Amino acid sequence: MAESIIQKKSFEFALEIIELYRQLQDNREYVLSRQLLRSGTSIGANVEEASAGQSRKDFLSKMSIASKEARETQYWLRLLQRSKLVDIDVTNQLSHVNELIRILTSIVKTTGEQL
């Protein structure tokens, strides 16, 4: 089966988050970096689980979790940006997570209407 756009984008985003995590660790930012790593990589993991969903309801549940994780990731990124705890620009990651949120919201809405 071909990889979907959301699978590809969420995987690439997870790689970005891992790189950002490394930069944050190098800057001795340990607490927010772990939160960000957990939520940012969880998006793609839930998308992958959804792609193997046993039913439409199961698919919807996993995509909804991915959407929530994306929103949590957005929160941590905004907090990093506004708090200025570290001097690292997260504008790209914010842009990418906002795109993921739009795609996931659309998937959840469309799937929910089909139930």
Domain boundaries, the chain: 5-114
Q: Using 50, 70 and 90 to split pLDDT, how confident is the model at 3?
A: confident
CATH architecture of 5-114: Up-down Bundle (1.20)
What mean pLDDT do residues 44-68 have?
Answer: 96
What mean pLDDT do residues 86-96 have?
Answer: 97
Residue 2 burial (CB < 10 Å; 0-12/13-18/19+)? exposed
Q: Is the pTM of this model over 0.85?
A: yes
Let me know: does 20 contact 50? Beta carbons within 8 Å: no
